[in-house]
């Protein structure tokens, strides 16, 4: 491991807004913060917004600056990536954003039912190979997790450069009769959406240099629907 990464890991330990629980703290059991984020971490009752697979935290940090009336939490397993967002928010004096180092599949160990108000999934790996289908962050196994931790009015945002993942997710929502609030295959052309969508991650900015299209979905999940995977073959989403 390079010295740069080691230095970032060490600095993460000094940040009061970075939470790096040991695996023993939540493996096969609920973490002590589950149901207690408002009381123990944010110290208020403002809505909690998650950025899943946050990387360098561009969305979490910039949205926190735009919306001081909300609490933001960037989640990623890569400590060196989290360091960038934590450092950035510190330098800019943004106090309503925290970072949690864990895997997305462990969300049920960290959040109680209805504890979260909003979820952002920004440029995740589309996992196009069929054998990796269950690793897609909009696979029904993940959607069922979001279904539980989101409150009744909770919204999910998927912003991706993958038309495959966009079509796959849209098919799941439509086949399960879930409410799609916004949908576009070309975000930066035509209809304008709220300014959060103009925030660009580091990788999105690089990608846009080739003048590609960015897709976007905003949707809600009904609490009582038993979500099922679409029968459509993956090839149809290409």
Q: What is the mean pLDDT of residues 69-85?
A: 96
- Residue 155's contacts (CB-CB under 8 Å, 6 or more residues apart) are 117, 118, 119, 181, 218, 219, 220
CB atoms within 10 A of CB 197: 18
Return the CATH number of the domain spanning residue range 3-19+31-237.
3.40.50.150
pLDDT tens-place string over residues 35-64: 999 999 999 999 999 999 999 999 999 999
Residues carrying an active site annotation: 125
Which tokens sit at 141? Answer: 């196994």
Contact 158, 166 (CB under 8 A): yes
CA dist., res. 95 & res. 12, Å (int): 16
pLDDT tens-place string over residues 150-198: 999 999 999 999 999 999 999 999 999 999 999 999 988 766 566 788 8
**Domain boundaries defined on the chain:** 3-19+31-237
Q: What is the SS3 assignment for 4-37?
A: HHHHHHHHHHHCCCEECCCHHHCCCCCCCCCCCH
CA dist., res. 101 & res. 86, Å (int): 12
CA dist., res. 216 & res. 138, Å (int): 13
Query: What is residue 200's predicted lDDT score, i.e. its pLDDT?
Result: 83
Alpha helices per DSSP H over the chain? 3-14, 58-66, 79-91, 107-110, 140-149, 163-175, 202-208
Candidates 43, 98, 93; CA nearest to 72 is 98
Residues of the chain with pLDDT > 70, as a percent, come to: 95
pLDDT tens-place string over residues 119-130: 999 999 999 998
CA dist., res. 219 & res. 213, Å (int): 20
């Amino acid at each position: 491991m390079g010295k740069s990464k080691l230095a970032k890991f060490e600095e993460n330990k000094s940040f009061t807004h970075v939470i790096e629980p040991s695996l023993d703290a939540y493996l096969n059991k609920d973490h002590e913060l589950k149901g207690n984020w408002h009381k123990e971490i944010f110290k208020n009752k403002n809505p909690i917004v998650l950025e899943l697979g946050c990387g360098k935290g561009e969305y979490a940090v910039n949205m926190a600056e735009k919306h001081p009336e909300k609490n933001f939490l960037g989640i990623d397993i890569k400590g060196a990536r989290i360091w960038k967002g934590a450092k950035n928010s510190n330098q800019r004096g943004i106090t309503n954003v925290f970072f949690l180092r864990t895997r997305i599949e462990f969300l049920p160990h960290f959040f109680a039912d209805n504890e979260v108000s909003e979820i952002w999934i920004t440029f995740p790996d589309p996992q196009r190979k069929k054998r990796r289908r269950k690793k897609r962050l909009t696979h029904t196994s993940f959607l069922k997790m979001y279904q539980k931790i989101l409150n009744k009015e909770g919204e999910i945002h998927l912003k991706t450069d993958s038309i495959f993942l966009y079509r796959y997710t849209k098919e799941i929502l439509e086949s399960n009769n879930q409410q799609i609030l916004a949908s576009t295959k070309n975000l930066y052309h035509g209809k304008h959406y709220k300014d959060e969508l103009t925030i660009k991650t580091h990788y999105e900015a690089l990608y846009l240099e080739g003048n590609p299209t960015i897709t976007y979905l905003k949707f809600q999940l009904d609490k009582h629907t038993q979500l099922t995977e679409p029968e459509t073959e993956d090839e149809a989403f290409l």
